[in-house]
Copies of this chain bind each other. A is one copy, B any other.
Amino acid sequence: MTNTLKSSYQKTPYKLSGNGPRNISVLKEAFQNIDENLESDIYGNGAIIEDFQTKIAKILGKEEAVFFPSGTMAQQIALRIWADRKNNRQMAYHPLSHLEIHEQDGLKELQQINPVLLGTAERLLTIEDIKALQEPVSSVLLELPQREIGGQLPSFEELEEISAYCKEQGIALHLDGARLWEVMPFYEKSAEEICALFDSVYVSFYKGIGAIAGAILAGDADFVQEAKIWKRRYGGDLISLYPYILSADYYFDKRIGKMEGYYEAAKKLAERFNACDGVKTVPEVPVSNMFHVHFDKPINEIGPKLTEIHDETGVGISGYLQEKSEGVCSFEVSVGDGLDEIQEDVLHSLFEKLAKL
């Protein structure tokens, strides 16, 4: 049945989420105007990689930046550098941090770093959780927005308090900014203003930005130099990273100005979900381009209905459903360019059908 939902989703020509299909055209579009004589980056050197690092470092307001193939690699390395600086292998993050649930325990297995889980899984971590830590930690990782709970955010004031408290306590504050670009409209702050609260920052280029893959880790010059050594150790210092770098640069320029639009569209879309009986979004009012949709019914009831709506409307709602609790299932929405391509009357009919679930 899950497979039916997935395959019906894959067949829909339109989707509520994303920037269009993840296919080879993503690469072809990014490269179509690039001179074929442009020289590859070579093991972290060369204009392609250096220029992009400088560009993003400046946008983030950090001294330097280094391009990584993945955020997994970048963030483990950031936390290891802080662990070494503070001579402490304990750090702290949210119980549903990407590092805790999606990385096969790489942080623990490769870096022997022991994370303390802050607060509880279903809510944001707070400054009180940090103040309540029973043992010293080298760093705290904050994910903005907290993806696994629908993309929730603390207020900017609380961020400032957390930052000040960590500084006072000698705790390094690291930003998991996988979706940093996507929260700038809510905070009404620049990337630089947000990043100024953090000692190190990771950002991604394949979520809202919609590039192929790739990440940037930014911080002080000596932090970044150390990160480059670890990047070599991890096998991330490829002879050529340009397929990711050039596409990251291309889609960054193409979509960075659209984040406000995605955010506004996400709020409207969430309203439409919340207007359906037995359906609610988390957060109720989105604070970025993303939110989760919860149904008051189990997967085996909702799955066939979504499949039906996919087939009838040609609009993909979701390719999967996750059991949240007994009788409650959910999926994630991330608004990108795709939503705009759906005709209003089609969307209207889709929500009429959803309202009848």
Contacts and interface: CB of A to CB of B under 8 A. Distances in A.
Contact of A235 (B22, B28, B106): B106
Given A25-B36, A73-B236, A212-B242, 13 more contacts: A21-B37, A22-B239, A24-B37, A24-B40, A24-B242, A27-B243, A73-B235, A103-B233, A103-B235, A106-B235, A110-B233, A212-B240, A213-B241
Contacts of A35: 24
B39 A22 contact: yes
Interface stretch (A63-71, A254-262, A293-301): A63-71
Nearest to A211: B240
Interface of A: 21-28, 31, 34-40, 42, 68-74, 76, 103-106, 109-111, 206, 212-213, 229-230, 232-244, 246
5 contacts: A23-B36, A24-B35, A25-B36, A104-B230, A243-B244
Given A22-B40, A37-B24, A106 B242 contact: no
A306 to B, nearest CB: 20
A179 B213 CA distance: 28
A67 to B, nearest CB: 13
Contacts of A72: 232-235, 237
Contact of A206 (B103, B230, B239): B239
A105 B233 CA distance: 6
A39 to B, nearest CB: 5
A108 B4 CA distance: 47
A40 B234 CA distance: 24
A343 to B, nearest CB: 23
Contacts of A234: 72-73, 106, 110, 234-235
A106 B233 contact: yes
A349 B58 CA distance: 50
Contacts of A103: 232-233, 235
A-B complex: 9 closest residue pairs judged by Cβ atoms? A73-B235, A72-B235, A243-B243, A106-B233, A25-B36, A70-B235, A22-B40, A104-B232, A213-B238
A174 B248 CA distance: 36
A23 B242 CA distance: 9
A126 to B, nearest CB: 29
Contact of A24 (B36, B213, B244): B36
A104 B233 contact: yes
B37 A23 contact: yes
